[in-house]
Amino acid sequence: MTHLKTHFCFLSVTIGLSLFVCPSYAQESSGGVFVVGGIHQRHENAKHYSYEKMGEIFQQLNPDILCVETQQKYVDDSSYTGTPYDFLKFMIPLAQKEKRPIYGIDWWDNEKGDEWQKLQQKAYNDTAIAPEINLFGGMFVILDAYFETKDFEQINSRYITNLWKAKNEFKYHVFSQSPEYRFIVEFENQRNHHIVENIRKVVLNNPGKKVLVAIGIDHKYYIEEKLQNLGIKVYHIENIEQFKK
């Protein structure tokens, strides 16, 4: 009988504690990340996915925090130097108006960046890999045309994200075969790694908060995969309504 009383008391305490623990857990799990992919200058010709639409997306998603494609030092000095117009025109002013914290998550090294640009130009004019360049360059042109007529939900879907990933993986495969062009792959991966790490820090320092990551669509697949691997909740188009709550 003593053992039964002991077990009963333990069970009662456990259930009682769970009543306090569960609501806290539910509150924290309501946070997470949604990555919206900007298409930079292509917003100008987009029939639906315009610069104005980027502002509407911010208002609809109503995030607690905005992470944007710029370096933190340019957020700190309020210059937003080099920030893509996708986010500079409407998203950032709306976040400022609503007094939402803004974090710059980009990383850049000027010397490496210059080398990266020179090597890309050289690679795109290299006749030895012209068929491969034309292939993934053609994929870019096709996606470009698609972006002109489609809207936020289609452009940010898993399917387009996966196509973008396939394009980049093929590009990296081609460039990795060359000791010279391999630097392009290394630099882009280094930049993406820093971006993910910067987002991770924001999420960890703001538990339970809804974080909107506004960044060029080229980075979207990498960010989503790496954040999920780190155990961070990532929302997609199909469950975006949960992010809005």
Question: Which percentage of the chain shows pLDDT scores above 70?
Answer: 88
Question: Listing from the earlier edge strand, what are the strands of the sheet with 234-235?
Answer: 102-104, 65-68, 210-216, 32-38, 234-235
Phi first, then psi, for residue 49 (nearest 5°) are -90, 65
pLDDT in tens, 2-41: 443 444 343 343 334 333 333 333 333 469 999 999 999 8
User: At 150, which amino acid appears?
Assistant: K
How far is Cα 59 from Cα 98, in angstroms, rounded to an integer? 10
Domain limits, the chain: 30-245
How far is Cα 54 from Cα 105, in angstroms, rounded to an integer? 18
Query: Do 239 and 30 meet the contact criterion of CB atoms below 8 Å apart?
Result: no
Region 190-203 average pLDDT: 99
User: Whole-model pTM above 0.75?
Assistant: yes
The predicted pLDDT at position 3 comes to: 43
Nearest Cα neighbor of 232 from 29, 67, 21 is: 29
The predicted pLDDT at position 244 comes to: 87
Per-residue pLDDT band for 230 (boundaries 50, 70, 90) equals very high
pLDDT in tens, 36-60: 999 998 999 999 999 999 999 999 9
User: At 140, which amino acid appears?
Assistant: F
Angle between helices 158-176 and 182-205 (to 10 degrees): 140
Q: How far does Cα 102 stand from its chain's mean position?
A: 14
Q: Kindly tell me the sign of the dihedral angle through the C-alpha atoms of 239, 92, 200, 106.
A: positive
Quickly tell me which residue has 């950032």 as its tokens.
92
